[in-house]
Amino acid sequence: MRGRPTTYDSDAVVLKAQEVFWEKGYSATSLQDLQTATQMGSGSLYNTFRGGKKELFSKALQQRREAFLAFKQEMKQHPAPIELIKDFFRSLAEADEHTHMKGCIVANTVTALAFVDNDLEAEAVGILKDVERMFTDTIREAQRSGTITNPADAAVLGRYLITCWNGLNVTRRMHPNKEKMKELIGIQLSILA
């Protein structure tokens, strides 16, 4: 018995929810907001995501995690992975104002939910740590190959890079401006040498 088939594409629904969560954050997003964004009634919504708002947010976070894993895959077949990372940072400056104002949903979650929802906060921290690990591994390899001359511990430099990312996601809201962001990122990356 198959029963009535779903008319909603779960991935697309999570993506719509992700957009709302990204802008307003977990606490300020109401189920009404989510129903409007996804065009789902509460019946379908709770039937699809029995965990309610929290499960939907978790799925949205995991969707960002997938995006990161895709980037990591792309990097594996690149001749100079560290250049891809640098380019990723530099491309940040080219974003439009709205993108600047949104920041990073993962970092947003870490700052907003530490004393509100431990599970979701831990999930977000986990993603950022994965990114940090990728930075560290890439830097270690670039040091071996001589692409990076800074001899500091790769783990510290990786932590430095994720901190650059975290910082940019606040500062870009203070200065959603291409030129200012470009200069800033240039200084940040200059440390790798």
Partner DNA sequence: CAATTTTTGTAATGATCATTACAAAAATAT
Partner DNA sequence: ATATTTTTGTAATGATCATTACAAAAATTG
Sites of contact with a second copy (CB under 8 A): 23-25, 27-28, 101-103, 107-108, 110-112, 114-116, 121, 125, 128-129, 132, 152-153, 156-157, 159-160, 162-171, 173-175, 180, 183-184, 187-188, 190-191
From the list DNA, a second copy, none, which binds 95 (C-beta under 5 to 8 Å, kind-based)? none
Least CB distance from residue 105 to DNA, whole Å? 17
Under a CB-based contact definition with an 8 Å cutoff, are residues 88 and 29 in contact?
A: no
Binding piece for DNA, criterion CB under 7 A, among 29-37, 66-74, 85-93, 148-156: 29-37
Least CB distance from residue 22 to a second copy, whole Å? 9
Under a CB-based contact definition with an 8 Å cutoff, are residues 38 and 56 in contact?
A: no
Sequence-distant (≥ 6) Cβ neighbours of residue 93 within 8 angstroms: 178, 181, 182, 185
Under a CB-based contact definition with an 8 Å cutoff, are residues 115 and 104 in contact?
A: no
Least CB distance from residue 141 to a second copy, whole Å? 19
Least CB distance from residue 109 to DNA, whole Å? 16
Assess 115 for contact with DNA (CB under 7 A). Answer: no
Assess 68 for contact with DNA (CB under 7 A). Answer: no
C-alpha neighbours within 13 Å on the C-beta side of residue 154: 16
Assess 118 for contact with DNA (CB under 7 A). Answer: no
Q: How far apart are the first and last CA of the chain?
A: 63
What is residue 117's three-state secondary structure?
coil
Output the CA–CA distances (angstroms, integers) from residue 88 to 21, 29, 185, in the order listed.
24, 30, 11
Interface residue list for DNA (CB under 7 A): 1-8, 29-33, 40-44, 46-48, 52-54
